[in-house]
A and B are shown apart, each in its own frame.
Chain A
């Protein structure tokens, strides 16, 4: 039973205001007031630490997939030593099923810019880079324009609001590589190299861009910050699911009548999101399965969804995760073998190849699944697949190997009959 009142929710990230992407309109609607407050209201905001504490208290859980408390992450930055410090904003948005940050670039770029500026002040950061996937050319241009306008108005640059806070803000375009969404790969790409993830530790807070302290946050995560400053941590915590609070940009794709991006509170029942928000399954078909938050999050059968809500805790009870909240919906005609093969193909294609378990493992997963898909598989191949996944997990430099292993493990476990049927077919044909 859900108590989340999503029907009366007023959007915060993407409010329905015409031309909000223009800086004048943003200002007229209270834009840049949170930045002004932290820089000028010393009674309310004694120092940068007070901003970190408020954001930590709000518990904005990272919207890039891992769900880590943003303020807590900010508190890991070492004390300022007068040298360069960086904020790297992650707009790589490449996990299949995820298409939400682009809405912020398009409809409310200044909200994101303001959030990043507040983060920079809180962590005494000297330069901000926003990394945007190269395919998002229109959004790269929109962001460049918005940043230019914010420079012109004095929100970025030197002595912002007459304070001693100076910061620069640049756009850096990717060029086609899913792995660059992984935070240390993104740093490599920003440094002008191939996007090979780095071994951790050292963590980016200690040694990030050019060996200097760096924090990485997702675009949506940072866009939540201005409202937390304006309305307080308590306001944010009162929205949605208590342990995973706040509004979320849900991206819904697949077999629904009204796919798209919807801003709603966390903790909305999965079934409501599909049936009431996204208009139900196309062509009057029945729901078969859901991938709740991007291709790496474990798939759920329709019969597992009763009472499940879109937040980390609820999804964990049925063995899945919120991820990026990019939900992929599948109807009763969906062939799970085809779907899983396509996911495996993606991760194999995108593995950077540094670690043997990932490079070889993703290749094996794809190859064996293709064999099964083509009707040439045997039931023991399913156990081989599961065995490969256990050899990949937790043994690599970055989490891509886990992201590749989970869908295979859970799709086979949750749709075992379907996989076996496809395998048996070939046995019969041979007999």
Chain B
């Protein structure tokens, strides 16, 4: 498939390039723009990024494959990244992962047949005090997971409703 950036994307890319003394540093941000536009950065998208920045394809490919957040292939509409790292493990992260496997009828790493959900297990997401938790498609965090909270989440995602930013209070503060 051939992909193209929109005029707005290209304008944004020019802005990004102006932040650095050379063009290479734009690789990560432009891969982000591409992934936000096309939903993934498969080899064809990597080609587009390389051509747009006039950088070798091998370089863009090397970068895209080094970082876990770039999707190297098409994923489900919602990617659920469940943290099972240290603090989440202690607080039931694996239980949540297994609950989701059962609920969605897929194994970790798989995408559901209807293309709605991809389920992953990930390393610490910097939300350890709110464990267990998951992240939806590189965006919102859902904290302090329970089976009930997962039920509600999956139901609303099926309706296309994404949760909003969940602000986690600092316990000693009262005036938030």
Contacts and interface: CB of A to CB of B under 8 A. Distances in A.
Given A254-B87, A342-B86, A173 B170 contact: no
B91 to A, nearest CB: 7
A217 to B, nearest CB: 18
Contacts of B59: 193
Given A173-B29, A192-B27, A192-B63, A18 B87 contact: no
Contacts of B125: 135
Q: How large is the interface on A (under 10, 10 to 19, 20 to 34, 35 or more residues)?
A: 35 or more
A252 B165 CA distance: 22
Contact of A190 (B25, B68, B173, B176): B25
Contact of A84 (B21, B28, B167, B171): B21
Nearest to B168: A260
B91 A11 contact: no
Contacts of B25: 172, 190-192
A262 B171 contact: yes
A262 B172 contact: yes
Interface in B62-104: 62-63, 66-70, 84-87, 89-91
A195 interface: yes
Contacts of B69: 134-135, 174-176
Interface string A165-178: 00010101111111
Interface in A188-223: 189-195, 210
Contacts of A190: 25
Among B86, B91, B135, max chain A CB count under 10 A is at B86
A285 to B, nearest CB: 12
Interface stretch (B4-12, B109-117, B126-134, B151-159): B126-134
25 contacts: A17-B175, A18-B175, A97-B87, A98-B128, A135-B138, A138-B140, A172-B29, A173-B29, A175-B31, A175-B69, A176-B69, A191-B24, A195-B67, A251-B129, A252-B129, A253-B91, A253-B128, A254-B131, A255-B91, A261-B170, A262-B172, A291-B86, A295-B86, A328-B87, A339-B89
Interface of B: 19-22, 24-29, 31-32, 59, 62-63, 66-70, 84-87, 89-91, 123-131, 135, 138-140, 165, 167-176
